[in-house]
Amino acid sequence: MKKETILPDFFKPILWGLKWDALEIEKDKEEIILAALNHGELEHLK
């Protein structure tokens, strides 16, 4: 069973290096956090 992405759509532009449809929050959490810190705005960090 495929896991649903629970991130809001405004994360898509900063996660350009990851496949949105294959994203798994727990598995990809380090990449998500790094992308938010490096490319995101305040709304990505809340």
Residue-level pLDDT at 1: 47
Digit-coded pLDDT (tens) for 13-34: 999 988 988 889 999 999 999 9
Calpha distance 41→22 (Å, rounded): 23
Q: CA torsion 39→40→41→46, rounded to 10°?
A: -150
Would the pTM count as exceeding 0.85? no
For 41: left if phi > 0, alpha if psi spans -120 to 50, otherwise beta; the answer is beta
Structure tokens at 13: 């532009």
Between residues 3 and 9, the one the model is more confident about = 9
